[in-house]
Each structure stands twice: as C-alpha cells, then as structure tokens.
Structure 1
Amino acid sequence: MSEVHLTRRISLLQATAINMTDMVGIGPFVVLSTVADIMHGPWFLYAWIAGALLSFVDATIWSELGATFPLAGGSYNFLKEGYGPKWGKLMSFLFVWQTMIQAPLVIASAAIGFAQYFNYLAPLGYYTSKIVSGSVVILIVLLLYRKIESIGKISVLLWLGVLITMSWIIGGGIMHGNFLAPVEHVNDGLNINFAFAALLGTATVKTTYSYLGYYNVCHLGGEIINPQKNIPRSMFISIIGISLLYLLMNISVASVLPMSNIRDSEFVVSEFIHAIAGPTAATVATGLILWVAFASVFSATLGYSRIPYAAAKDGAFFSVFAKLHPSKHFPYVSLLVLGAVAFVFSLLFRISDVISAILAMRILIQFIGQAAGLLILSKRKGRNFFKWKMPLFPIPAILAVLIWLGIFFSTGKQMILTGLGVIAAGIIAFCIKARYSKEWPFDK
C-alpha cells in the first residue's frame, strides 16, 4: 500500500479566503466596544491602524519563511530550520507544546464569542450558552472531516458571507451617518504622551487579536498550489483587505452611534444596524455576524490541525498525530484531538479570559522567536537562500520584534507570567522527552 501524502489543491483565491475568514471572526465585533472604551475617545481608530501595521510588518517574516519552507505546520518548520539541528529541536517542540494549549483557546474563543453574540437573537442562560459554544466546535470538526479541495470550496462560500456582512455595515454608515466625522475628529483632545502610549498598547492587544490569522496559509503550506508566490500574495492581500474593512467598519459605526453607546454596548454592530434600518434588519445582521464567527472557527481549526501532524511526521511529537485519513488524505487524529480540547475549553472559559492569554502564550516563541530565527538563518545561509525576500532587510524583522515586545508587556503581569509558565513547562517536558529518547542535549 502506497504512503498517503498531502496534496496541493488550494488556489490563491481559496488561500486568501481561508486567511480572511480566519481574521474576520467574532473578534472585531466583540472588541470594537472594548477598544473604544480603553482609548476613552475618538482616537480608538489608531489602535486599529497599529494592529494593521504590525500585521503587515510581521507578514514579511512569514512570507520569507513560508515561501522557502512550504510545508504543513508552518512555524514548526520555520523554528526548526532557523535555529539549526540542536536548538531548533527545542524551539519547534515549544511551539507545538504551546499550540496544543493556545490553538484550542483560539478555537474556543471564537465559539464563545459566537454564543455571546447569539444572545442578541435569543437570551441564553449560562448552561444554554455553553451548549451553543460547544455545538459550534463539534459542527466545525464535522465539516472539516473531508478532503481539502472540498474545504477550499467551503472556505470561499464562508468568505462571501464575511464580505457581505462588512459591506452592509460600511454601506450603512455611508448612507445614513456623517461618515467623515470620526476621521475629522480623530485627534480631538489627543495628547501624545506616556499615558496615550500605554492606552494604545493595551488597546492594540485587542485589535491584534482581530488581525490574527493572516499567516494561516503557512500552516497549510503543503497543500498550497505554487506556494512560493501564493503564500506571500495571499497574506498581503488578506491584510490590506481586512485592514480597510476594519477601519471603514469602525468609522461607519462611529458615524451613526454616539461614542458613549459604542463604549457600553455588548452588541454594537447589531445596535448600529437597528439604528439605521430597524429591528428586522438588526436580526438579519446578527445572523450574518454569527456566520462570520462560524467561518473563523472553521478556518482556524483547519490551519491548526496541521501543526501536530507536521511535528509527529518529523518524529518530534507523538506518532499517532502523523496519521492521515486513508481516503480523504487529511490529519484526522490531529483534528479530532484539537477539536476535543477546544470543546472542553469552550465550556470552561469566557472570551475576556482568553484574548490576552492567547497573545501572551504565542508572542515569545512564535512571533519573536520566529523573527530571530529568520535573522539567524539569513546569516547562516545567505539572503539568496530565500524564495521571497522582504524589502529593507533586516529592518522589518527588527521592528516586528520591538513591537511584539511592547504588545507582550501590554498583556499585563498575570498574562506575562502565564506565557512564561507555559514556556517553562514546555522546556521541562522537552528535557524529559530528550532524556528518555537519548536525544540532544542528552545524547552521547
């Protein structure tokens, strides 16, 4: 019987759809009010701009590594190659270790947000809310249990729902509000000082969460057609498109609703549609927002399921995760395990608990560690080694590290300690595994 392999069936359109549906989940609808409340005024647009700039700069790092190593698992391969045969084992193991915790958190956060916004349609109690969020995770796993070409088509369909929803929100502000007012008054009362920088950092933690997913295509590198071109293209198209949509959506909402209403609302977009088009339209808009949230869980789960598979196939993780479905050719064990953990998390946590935790756990290893690994690899291999090259190297990589450090410290003391604790536990687990298997640093 021949060995089963991943197949390259995802086109540029489908890759872009997967990225964008991952990015526009429940995040922008849930954190819009939170960001406005943190910034205390019309300057909240700057937090969305800051998140976009960070995503764009960081995408240059992902593009170099993704185009050069177009394999399933994304960051697992990037860290392994960047840090070499010894330290690369530790860094890639730590990435998979944290993925087994933070990936289900990401999936659960979208499912919890889905249940939270569902309250606008029908008030849910504590237990019914948990039933809804858990059911979302189960349905996603069932939809993903199929061939990748079918998943690509489903992603495009879900993506259309994202574009329709965002277009309605933006068009509503243009037709019914004073659309330019939020931009004209964005600097009212603004003093650029340490207090503003602190508020911007805290708010950018929330907006960055809404941009996460621009790199999802890298986790599917082994299934992308013409990856050297399509991986970078899909990321930059996604970031530019989503940045414009987010800014226009925020401007649109602020052009209709008073800032006090935006800051205090739990369903700000639904209330915005209610103000311009009435209750029936608000109900329809809420349904579309739930569609978008569902699409995000779908896309995120798809990408994350390839990471334990890649590590196991490489012999760096439990071998059972390397199994592919014999006829559908996807890592079904990885999908089922991550889905099961996400289901449990969706029952245990609130969305406010997980946003900062997700970033705190990922920044040091995945984002900063990946940027440093690129610099190390560039020095070792030379710039001609890379299939795609960032402009002005190494400035974007260094700038990304500095910004990510600022975001990390803005997550707060408790989340910083949580992130460091996960890394420390991963190092201990790695040493135990290495000692048992007599690998570096315990080999002879």
Structure 2
Amino acid sequence: MSSPTRSGEPHSPGTRTPGFQRQIGPLQATAINMTQMCGIGPFVTIPLMVAAMGGPQAMFGWLIGAVIALADGLIWAELGAAMPGAGGTYIYLREAFQYRTGRLMPFLFAWSAVLFIPLIMSTGVIGLVTYLGYLVPGVVDANGDTTALGHTIGIAVVALVVFALYRRIGQIGKLTTVLFAIMLCSVFAVIVASFLHFDADLAFGFTPGAFELFGGPFWTGLGAGLMIAIYDYLGYNTSAYLGAELREPGRTLPRAIVYSILGIAGLYFVLQLGVLGAVPWEKITESSSIASLVFEQAWGTGVAKVLTVFIVITAFGSVFAGLLGGSRVPFEAARDKLFLPWFGRLHPRLNFPTVGLFAMGGITALGSLFTLADVIAMLTTVFVLVQSVAQVAALTVLRRRQPGLRRPYRQWLYPVPSIVALIGWIFIYYQSGTQPVLLSIGWLVVGVIAFLIWARAEKTWPFGPKEIRESYLDDRTKEVGA
C-alpha cells in the first residue's frame, strides 16, 4: 500500500466542525470534567472500595487509580489538543488506524460508545436514587435495593437532564459551573463532617497482614479496587468530546484534563481518609448512603437531610455533564457516513446534536434499572478495549504516521505515561471477571459483523478501496487499493 500524499503546512483545526460554537473556556472545561468525575461516584463506591480491599488500606487504592488516570489523561491531552473535534476518541482512532484497517476501529468505538457512555451515566442515576432513599420512604427497600418507585424516579431524572441539555452550549456552560460549585460543597461538607469525629486509630487501623505480598487483602483486592477507583475517575476526558466547542483547545484541553485529575485525586483521598476515621470500616461496608451517615453522626438527622439534597444535586450534575459530552460522540461518526445519518444532524437554531442526546438519554434510563456493580463491570471492560488500550496505540501510530501534525501539547516523558496506562488498563481488564470480559468480547464480535455488513454495502475496505484522509494534517484525500 502506498503512503498518502502530504503537502502544505498543517491546518489549524480551530474551525473544522461547522455549526458548533467555541464558547467553553478553561474554567468551564475543568468544571465539566470534575463535575462528571466526582458526581455521585465516591459517595456510593467508598463502601465497595473498602469491602474489596478489606479495610482502611483502601485509601491507597485511590492513589494508584490516580496514577493510571493521570497517565491516560496525558494521552488524551496530546490527542485532543492536536485534533479538537466533536467526538473525541472517534476522531483519534479514525486518524490513526485508517492506514491498516480502514474505518474498522472508529466504527467499533462509535458502536460501543453508544453503550458504555450512557452506562456511566446510569451509575449516576442509580447513586442519585440510592441517596434519595435516605430522604423519601419507599425509594429503596430494607436491603438498599431500588424499588419500582425508585426506578420510576430514575427515569424521570434522565428526562429532566435531557430537557436541561436542550439549549445552547453557552447557557449549558454557565449551568455546569453552578453544578460544579454544588459538587464541591457536597464533597467539602462530607470532609468537614468526617473530620469533626476523626479517629486516627480507625483511619490507620490497617488489617493485620494487609500488605503481605502473597495473600494480603490489599493485593488480593487491588484488582477490584482499581476498577472502582477508575470508575470514579472517569470523566477527565469529557471536555475532549467537546473539542469543537472549546476556546483555544490546544491550551484549554490539556490543562482541564490535568487539573481535574489532580484536583479530584486530592479530594478523593481526603474524603476516603475522613470517612475511615469517622466510621469503623466494617460499618462502612454495610452502608448504602455513607455520606448521609457521616452527616447524621456529625450534625443530626435534620442537617443530614439538607446536605443529602446537595449530594442528589451533585449526582444530577454528573449525569448532566456526561450526557453533554457523550451526545457529541456519534455526531462525528454520522458525518463520516459511518453511523446512522440521523446522529449527524444539529438542531437548526440551538446547534447541538439532538438524536445523540435523545438516544443516549434513553439508554441511560434503561441502564438505571440494573445494579451498580453489574453496570460498573460491564462498562469498564467495554471501554478498556475500544477506547483506553486503542488510544495508547493511536498516540504511537500518529507520532510515526503524521509527524507533521500540529501538536500544541506533547505528552510529558513520552512514552512512559503510555506504558503505565497500558499496564494499568490490561490489569484492570484481566481482574474484571469472566462474565464481563466475555460480554465485552461478544459485543465487539457483533460490532465487527455489523461493520462488515456496512463495508460490504458501502464497497469500502475490506471490500473496496481504502480511503486515507488525514483530516488534521492536510485537505488531500488519496484512494489506496486494499
């Protein structure tokens, strides 16, 4: 196969996606990331993390997770700064893998993203309903399981989020900043409440033999713990999906990613430490609304109910921010005629992808009907394969294939962060369990079959010529024989 022709200076990607408006600045981009990252996550997963790692040593699980998230974030930063379009990973995989496998990889990502992105949002809805159970009788039962009333409320919440997103991006950015402020208030309230009754003996009372290399609960539970930690860090890439709507994306995107990961990592560690020092770890594992329990212990039931409302709003904010970014993913694929064409339409007046918003909202509502643990396991295995591992390869391929690509940011200490991220993702995938792994592989197999049907109909690779379009390098297109 011959190489595509390259000529001219790299074009600025600042206006590549028509219709979108660049109105999101650094503060709003960071707020969008952090609102999506925190959301309800730590408030519902702290008990799961402590149980998985067998005691207070769970606090170190957050730190290891932060290392993996930061290493992966530096991959996103370079790719997103160089190719700031709507869709994030879809664009990166399209540009990197077109030389060998045509459009297979971006197709598989779009195919999978319409599943795993809404599943991430579903966990926010599940957590919201769980904490609402502290305020409203009948939402959860005595075992902490969601009732029919709770499921109905969850679906109504998704409908409200979709309604809130049905507006211009400038208005959404302002609303996201407000939700971000509420999220910070919720986290700091839990931290303050926990440290009012902080007991160092509880916080640092590690399980005997916890760190023994062979058989210690820290190491045996690290795989499950990292899956939970990574789930809680997910969202540092949300602004990359909004690349076509960022001001000065080459500067805004890397900063928003790094600042949001470091900020949330610090908050998570202090939050986990405070809770461990306020409540015995055995009791933490039995609680479905641990933040409300900490509030009640510190200030009584009345204040606990008021602050629980803040946590419910925080959960709403995470779903809001996630669907905001996720609804843009199939848009770019549809514009490339690689996905259903309806997803490529923008609202004629408000300039946002309507079908993507409604479709992902519907899947989010459906996912909210399942348990939190099941949803986390399924979404983790799917995105590790088609996004995380694939992007490690994409960064390396693009450095070799497109050395002239304009890169406002280049990964620090390359390729060390890429190697750290790859090892972390492989370990998490391996530890996720047989059923989620098999389901993720099955989903990809079906996706490959769907791609082959589409490729056959479109007479493209592997049933026709392979089109090489280096969209962010130059405007030339070269048809290359399969």
TM-score by length of 1: 0.96
1:345 Cα deviation after fit = 2.7
Q: CA deviation at 1:198?
A: 3.0
CA distance in 2, matches of 1:194, 1:149: 54
Alignment partner of 1:328 is 2:350: yes
Q: Indicate which of 289, 296, 303 corresponds to 1:281.
A: 303
Alignment partner of 1:424 is 2:438:
no
2:115 equivalent to 1:90: no
Contact 2:211 2:219 in 1 (8 A): no
Q: Which position in structure 1 is the counterpart of 2:460?
A: 439
Deviation at 1:88, TM superposition (A): 4.9
Is structure 2 residue 428 aligned with structure 1 residue 413? no
- Measured on the aligned residues, the alpha-carbon RMSD in Å equals 1.7
Q: Is 1:376 aligned to 2:390, yes or no?
A: no
| Structure-2 residue corresponding to 1:34 | 48
**Bigger shift: 295-304 or 283-292?**
283-292
Q: Which amino acid aligns with 1:189?
A: G
Match of 1:208 in 2: 230
For residue 173 of structure 1, what is the amino acid of its counterpart? S
Residue 88 and residue 285 in structure 1: after superposition, are their counterparts in 2 closer, same or farther (change >3 A)? farther
Larger fraction in helix? 1
Unpaired runs of 5+ residues, structure 2, are 1-16, 141-146, 466-482
Partner of 1:359 in structure 2? 380
Report which of the two structures shows the higher radius of gyration computed on alpha carbons. 2
CA contact (8 A) 2:104 2:448 kept: yes
Give 1:190's aligned residue: 210
Structure 1 position 350, deviation (Å): 1.9
1:119 partner SS: helix
Match of 2:113 in 1: 99
Taking a change above 3 Å as real, the CA distance of residues 194 and 301 of structure 1, as seen in their structure-2 partners, is farther
| Deviation of the 1:433 alpha carbon | 0.3
The alignment status of 1:177 with 2:191, answered yes or no, reads: no
**194-203 or 51-60: which moved more?**
194-203
**C-alpha offsets along residues 177-223 of structure 1, whole Å, 9 cap, x if unaligned?**
23x55665458533342434331111111111111000100000000
1:227–1:4: structure 2 CA closer, same or farther, 3 Å change rule? Answer: closer
Structure 1 residue 152 displacement after superposition? 0.1
Say if 2:127 is the partner of 1:127: no
State the alpha-carbon separation in 2 of the partners of residues 369 and 259 from structure 1. Answer: 38
- Partners of 2:377 and 2:81 lie apart in 1 by 30
* CA offset digits 1:12-55 (Å, max 9, x no partner): 11101100110012211111001111111221111111111111
Distance in 2, Cα, partners of 1:349 & 1:383: 47
What is the CA–CA distance in structure 1 between the aligned matches of 2:63 and 2:175, rounded to whole Å?
30
Equivalences for residues 218-297 of structure 1 within 5 A: 218-297=240-319
User: 1:344, CA displacement in angstroms?
Assistant: 2.6
The one-letter code matched in structure 1 to 2:291 is: V
Are the structure 2 counterparts of residues 276 and 383 from structure 1 closer, same or farther at C-alpha, using a change threshold of 3 Å? Answer: farther
Distance 2:170 2:389 in 1: 33
Map of 1:392-403 to 2, 5 A cutoff?
392-403=413-424
Matches within 5 A, 1:15-54: 15-54=29-68
Contact between 2:34 and 2:264, CA under 8 Å: does it hold in 1?
Answer: yes
1:72 to 86, 94, 102: 86
Counterpart Cα distance in 2 of 1:213 and 1:389: 21
Change (3 A) 1:28 1:76: same
Letter in 2 for 1:190: A
On the 8 A contact 2:202/2:280 being kept in 1, the answer is no
User: Match for 2:363: what amino acid?
Assistant: V
Work out whether residues 181 and 255 of structure 1, in 8 Å CA contact, stay in contact via their aligned partners in 2. Answer: yes
Number of residues paired by the alignment?
A: 440
Alignment map for 1:106-117 (pairs within 5 Å): 106-117=120-131
In the TM superposition, residue 321 of structure 1 has moved relative to its aligned partner by 0.8
Specify every segment of 5 or more residues in structure 1 that has no aligned partner in the other structure, as ranges.
none
Instruction: Compute the TM-score of the two structures, normalised by the length of structure 2.
Output: 0.88
State the 1:101 CA deviation.
Answer: 1.4
Q: Is the 8 A contact 2:36 2:321 kept in 1?
A: yes
Alpha-carbon distance in 2 for matches of 1:132, 1:194:
46
